[in-house]
Amino acid sequence: MLTENDLKIHWTQLHQPLTIDTSLVDYQFEYLTMLYGGSQRTYHNLTHLRQLISLLETHKAAISDPEAVLFAIFFHDMEYNILFKDNEEQSAKAAERHLQQIYYPAEKITMVSEFILATKTHINTLNNRDLDYFLDFDLAILGTAPEEYQEYARQIRAEYIIYPDPVYKPGRKRLLQRFLEAPAIYHTPAFRELYETRARQNIQAEIDTL
């Protein structure tokens, strides 16, 4: 597992070819890590970021534009408030603002933004293999060992602690059932082979507790 210092290294190396404005790069990293480090974030936090970056490193050979995918990873949950329904849109806008400040190519800014927006549904409407992998990275937790999945489910419940069980459980169940109703949870053959069967088992086991 990557450390928090590894996050800073990845962030710095990501920007080195793109800008010499180190104060901007450092400020954005501090702001980003402050948000991801919020006390209310028991799952969508810095650990989640590290997990996704580790998956990117593992599958980098299959990614056409790892730079853009890494930007999408860093920003995809930057804005996360369970009371709002536009977290993905706000996270995408935050990414756009930062990338415009470092003069990232416009077409790549659009791609990063579209990748972030796709995490709202985890549906790839772009016919883009990098997006397939990015979405699979985000859902890899579903196919982990049962005890790790159970800890993830507890962390999600903690993020929604303001909602009582009669409100939380039906909504959570509907979300999980949508995964089971899909022809496949994962988009890439690699992740289907690694995680699909166990993900379905984990999801069904959680549904049985709701």
pLDDT digits (tens, 9 = 90+) for 35-79: 999 999 999 999 999 999 999 999 999 999 999 999 999 999 999
- Region 194-200: mean pLDDT is 99
pLDDT band of 2, cuts 50, 70, 90: confident
119-146 pLDDT, tens digit per residue, is 999 999 999 999 999 999 999 999 999 9
3-state helix/strand/coil string of the chain: CCCHHHHHHHHHHHHCCCCCCHHHHHHHHHHHHHHHCCCCCCCCCHHHHHHHHHHHHHCHHHCCCHHHHHHHHHHCCCCCCCCCCCHHHHHHHHHHHHHHHCCCCHHHHHHHHHHHHHCCCCCCCCCCHHHHHHHHHHHHHHHCCHHHHHHHHHHHHHHCCCCCHHHHHHHHHHHHHHHHHCCCCCCCHHHHHHHHHHHHHHHHHHHCCC
Q: Tell me the percentage of the chain whose pLDDT exceeds 70.
A: 100
149 and 88, same structural domain? no
Domain of residue 126, CATH code: 1.10.3210
- Region 83-91: mean pLDDT is 97
pLDDT at 5: 87
75 and 163, same structural domain? no
117 and 134, same structural domain? yes
Q: What's the domain count of the chain?
A: 2
pTM assigned to the model: 0.96
Show which of 84, 119, 141 is a domain's final residue. Answer: 141
pLDDT band of 167, cuts 50, 70, 90: very high
| CA distances (Å), origin 115, targets 53, 94, 112, 136 | 15, 13, 5, 12
Query: pLDDT at residue 166 above 80?
Result: yes
- Write b or e for each residue in 25-52: b if 16 or more Cβ atoms lie within 10 A of its Cβ, otherwise e: beebbeebbebbeeeebbbbbbbbbbbb
pLDDT at 53: 98
127 and 182, same structural domain? no
Query: pLDDT at residue 1 above 80?
Result: no
177 and 116, same structural domain? no
